[in-house]
Amino acid sequence: MKTEFFMPMKPPTMTHQQKQVTVRNGKPVFYEPDELKAVRTKLMTHIGKHIPPDCYKTAIRLTTWWCYPVTGKHTDGEYKTTKPDTDNMIKMLKDCMTASKFWTDDSLVASEVTEKYWANVPGIYVKIEEI
């Protein structure tokens, strides 16, 4: 089985790592600020259109290309070497895909390729393939 799609959007720059913490009754409580909740909602809305009919149950490779709008002196297809970090930005997407039942658990992602580019057409390309 293979799932492949492109979500045209301005990819989020806020990541899972930007959760906040407060202390209640002497214990830390982590929460998502409103801006991070908006990112989660945006991703859930976009991926909801692409949920496979059957969730993946075996090892998979997840490939994502994060295409950010071209700015300044950058050119279409040039690698983006500024924040956000790829390891931080993929976490929220994987969490959303797990909640949407793309797979039984994100531990099935045995191989991960995440790249970020400057692009004339911004969005996130996603490919899931059994390995």
Nearest residue to 70 via CA among 1, 105, 122: 122
pLDDT number for residue 28: 82
pLDDT tens series, the chain, 131 aa: 999 999 999 998 866 555 556 677 888 867 667 788 888 999 999 999 999 999 999 999 999 999 999 999 999 999 999 999 998 889 999 999 999 999 999 999 999 999 999 999 999 999 999 99
Residue 106 CA to residue 94 CA, distance in Å, equals: 7
> What CA dihedral angle connects 13, 97, 107 and 116, to 10 degrees?
-30
Number of independent structural domains in the chain = 1
Residue 109 CA to residue 102 CA, distance in Å, equals: 11
pLDDT number for residue 35: 82
pLDDT number for residue 17: 55
Residue 105, helix vs strand vs coil: coil
| Residue span of the structural domain in which 27 resides | 2-130
pLDDT number for residue 99: 95
CATH of the domain at 111: 3.30.1330.70
> What's the whole-model pTM score?
0.85
